[in-house]
Amino acid sequence: MTGNNVSHSNRKTKRRFYPNLLTKKFYIPEEDDTITLRVSAAALRTINKKGISACLKEAREKGYLK
């Protein structure tokens, strides 16, 4: 997403809005393994709500993971 930096004098310069990405390790009890994922803060909230197993299954179905 793009936007503007607006100074006190109201001059506008272009800027970018980046997603809040975090590198996080997750333990998967079904596979007895730990994986490292680069996820956004919003995805972390979804994983906390649904659980890592459900999120991985959904991501594989959509083709985000192999």
Measure the CA angle with vertex 23, ends 15 and 48; round to 5°. Answer: 105
The tens digit of pLDDT for each residue in 2-20 reads 999 999 999 999 999 999 9
pLDDT tens per residue, range 40-62: 999 999 999 999 999 999 999 99
Task: Label residue 34 by pLDDT band (50, 70, 90).
Answer: very high
Output the pTM of the full model.
0.73
Cα separation, 34 vs 50, in Å, equals: 18
pLDDT at 64: 86
- CA atoms of 55 and 52, how far apart (whole Å): 5
How much is the pLDDT for 26? Answer: 96
